[in-house]
Amino acid sequence: MKQKTWHLIDLSKVVVDPTLKSHANDPFVVRKVEEARRVLAPYLKQLAEKEK
Amino acid sequence: MERSTVKANLYSFNTHTVKEKFYPFRASEDYLFYYFESRSEERTIHKAVQFEKIGADIYNLAFGDLDENREINDFCVSNNQDMNKVLATVVRTALTFFEAYPDRRVYFTGSSKARLRLYSAILAREFENWKPVFEVLGIQNGNPVPFEQGVNYESFIINRKSI
């Protein structure tokens, strides 16, 4: 059966603010991403090998 | 899954989970950063949520207060007496992220053991509501396993189910 897209949020009703910029380089965010990569290292390795 | 079942599952999720009041928030144009304000009579606290790629299709959810340098931190317990509303708002930003990026997954953990226990308790409490529409994996020793109530995990990965 063809899978249909379902929606919980109407993106047209979400307020988008073009002045809001990414905090990807925020030290807190960087630290959290590094921690996550350490925790998930075996799993991420599995996923990478599957993609080869 | 039949269309009527899909609609019933979404209705149930919306009714029970999304009913929690949440703060109005704004999203960045790429739907990866969100800003809202936690308000009480005493003060207003600036809150931020950032989704950032860890690897593969998995994004980390980082949440905290914006300090005077406009940087995020979660060191302080700001305790504005509105924890449920703040958490409901963070959930809302995650739902928005999933709407914008339906094939991606979100990883999150608690900044402390107490917060990890809180998130685990909420997932367990809302299990029947989210189970039809989301898949939740709990991380144990770096390995993801299907979430079970009453089991301790280090962190979680969530993704939308294709229904």
Contact residues for B146 (Cβ-Cβ < 8 A; gap 6+): B135, B136, B137, B138
Of residues A17, A10, A44, the one with CA closest to residue B60:
A44
pLDDT class for A9, splitting at 50, 70, 90? confident
Q: Give the number of other CB atoms < 10 A from CB of residue B90.
A: 19
How far is the C-alpha of A16 from the C-alpha of B46, rounded, in Å? 17
Interface confidence (ipTM) of the complex:
0.89
Are B44 and B50 a contacting pair, CB within 8 Å? no
Higher pLDDT, B90 or A52: B90
Q: Which helix (H) or strand (E) holds B135?
A: strand B134-140
pLDDT at B67: 84
CB atoms A29 and B52 under 8 Å: yes
Cβ contacts below 8 Å, chain A against chain B, sum to: 127
CB burial class (10 A; 0-12, 13-18, 19+) of residue B27?
A: buried
- Count the neighbouring beta carbons within 10 Å of the beta carbon of residue B124: 13
**Residue B16: pLDDT over 80:** no
Arithmetic mean of pLDDT, B14-38: 85
On the question of pLDDT at B14 being above 70, the answer is no
- Cβ of B26 within 8 Å of Cβ of A43? The answer is no
pLDDT level of residue B48 (50, 70, 90 thresholds): very high
Cβ distance of B109 and A44 shorter than 8 Å: no
